[in-house]
C-alpha cells in the first residue's frame, strides 16, 4: 500500500491530488491525521445510454434541442470533426494540434506550458492511449487531445486556428462523449472548472484531496479553512446536481422524440 511505502512524517508538507476514491480511502485509513479538502469537478458518466442518441434521449427536450443545434451550427460552418487514435496520429496531426494549442496561449500574450516534444513523447508511450478530436482534414483547423485508460477518457487542452461558434463544445465535449460510448468507456473527465458543462450532461463529482502540513500553526489554520469550505462545497455540489438537464426516471421512455 502507498501509505506503507512512503514516509511523509518528516516532510514539511505533502499533498495527494486528483486521486481515485479507493486511493483516498486507503491513505485516510493509514494516515487519519491527513487533512481532507473537498472540491467539485464536472464529469460525464455513462448511464447505459448506448449511443449519443440515447444520451440525448435522457435529457429534457430543451437541452436535447440545444445540443443538436450546437452541433448543427458547427457543421453549417463547414467544419467536420473526426477522431484519430494511437498510431493513426502522425507527425503532421500532432504538429497541427500543437499549433492550435499554442494559439490559445498566444492570444493571452504568452507561450504554452508544454512543448511539442512533450506531446511527441506522450504519443509514443503508450501510443494507444492518445486520442485527437478534430485532427486536420481538408480545411479543418482545430484539435483537442485526450488520454484514454481502461474506463475513463481524460480531456485536456484544445486550440483552433479559426473563430467558429460552438466549435469548443463539439471538439472538447461531444466528440469525447461519442468516443466513450463507441469504445465502452464509462467516464469522461474533461478537466477542471466550467459550470457550462452541467447543461451538456457533465455531472458534479465531489473530489477529496489529502494534505500533510508539519507546522502546527499553519496546519491549524488550514484545518479551519477546510472545515468551513467543506460545508460550502457540499452545498454547491447539491445545487449543481439540481441544474443537470436530465429527465426524471419516470419520464424516460414516455417521450417519443429522441
Phi, psi (rounded to 5 degrees) for 36: -105, 135
Task: Check pLDDT > 80 for residue 229.
Answer: yes
Q: What percent of the chain has pLDDT over 70?
A: 91
Average pLDDT, whole number, for the chain? Answer: 89
> Is the predicted pLDDT of residue 139 greater than 60, yes or no?
no
- Residue by residue, what is the 3-state secondary structure of 183-216? HCCCEEECCCCCHHHHHHCCEEEEEEEEEEECCH
pLDDT at residue 250, as a whole number = 39
pLDDT at 258 over 80: no
Evaluate if residue 212 carries a pLDDT over 60.
Answer: yes
Q: Which ranges of the chain does DSSP label H, i.e. alpha helix?
A: 2-5, 21-30, 52-57, 61-76, 91-106, 116-124, 167-169, 175-183, 216-242
Measure the CA–CA gap between 191 and 101, rounded to whole angstroms. Answer: 15
201: alpha, beta or left? (left if phi > 0; alpha if psi -120 to 50): left
- Predicted TM-score of the model (pTM): 0.86
Can you tell me the distance from the alpha carbon of 156 to that of 209, in angstroms, rounded to the nearest whole number?
20
List, for residues 85-100, the tens digit of each pLDDT value.
988 888 988 998 999 9
Where does residue 98 rank: exposed (0-12), middle (13-18), buried (19+ CB within 10 A)? buried
Say whether pLDDT at 254 is over 60.
no
What pLDDT was estimated at residue 252?
44
As assigned by CATH, the class of the 77-185 domain is alpha beta
What are the sequence ranges of the domains in the chain? 14-50+190-258, 77-185
Amino acid at each position: 500500500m502507498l501509505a506503507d511505502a512512503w514516509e511523509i512524517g518528516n516532510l514539511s508538507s505533502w499533498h495527494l491530488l486528483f486521486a481515485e476514491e479507493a486511493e483516498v480511502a486507503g491513505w485516510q485509513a493509514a494516515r487519519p491525521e491527513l487533512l481532507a479538502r473537498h472540491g467539485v469537478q464536472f464529469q460525464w458518466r455513462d448511464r447505459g445510454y448506448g449511443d449519443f442518441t440515447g444520451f440525448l434521449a435522457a435529457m429534457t427536450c430543451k437541452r436535447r434541442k440545444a445540443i443538436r443545434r450546437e452541433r448543427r451550427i458547427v457543421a453549417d460552418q463547414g467544419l467536420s470533426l473526426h477522431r484519430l487514435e494511437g498510431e493513426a496520429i502522425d507527425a503532421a496531426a500532432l504538429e497541427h494540434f500543437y499549433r492550435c494549442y499554442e494559439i490559445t496561449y498566444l492570444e493571452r500574450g504568452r507561450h504554452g506550458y508544454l512543448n511539442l516534444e512533450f506531446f511527441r513523447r506522450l504519443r509514443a508511450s503508450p501510443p494507444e492511449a492518445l486520442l485527437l478530436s478534430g485532427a486536420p482534414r481538408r480545411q479543418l483547423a482545430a484539435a483537442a487531445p485526450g488520454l484514454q485508460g481502461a474506463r475513463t477518457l481524460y480531456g485536456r487542452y484544445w486550440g483552433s486556428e479559426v473563430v467558429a461558434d460552438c466549435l469548443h463544445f463539439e471538439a472538447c465535449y461531444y466528440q469525447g462523449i461519442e468516443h466513450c460510448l463507441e469504445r465502452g468507456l464509462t467516464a469522461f473527465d474533461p478537466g477542471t472548472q466550467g459550470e457550462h458543462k452541467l447543461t451538456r450532461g457533465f455531472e458534479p463529482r465531489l473530489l477529496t484531496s489529502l494534505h500533510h502540513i508539519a507546522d502546527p500553526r499553519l496546519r491549524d489554520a488550514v484545518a479551519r479553512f477546510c472545515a468551513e469550505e467543506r460545508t460550502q462545497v457540499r452545498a454547491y455540489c447539491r445545487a449543481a446536481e439540481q441544474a443537470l438537464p436530465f429527465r426524471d426516471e419516470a419520464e424516460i421512455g414516455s417521450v417519443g422524440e429522441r
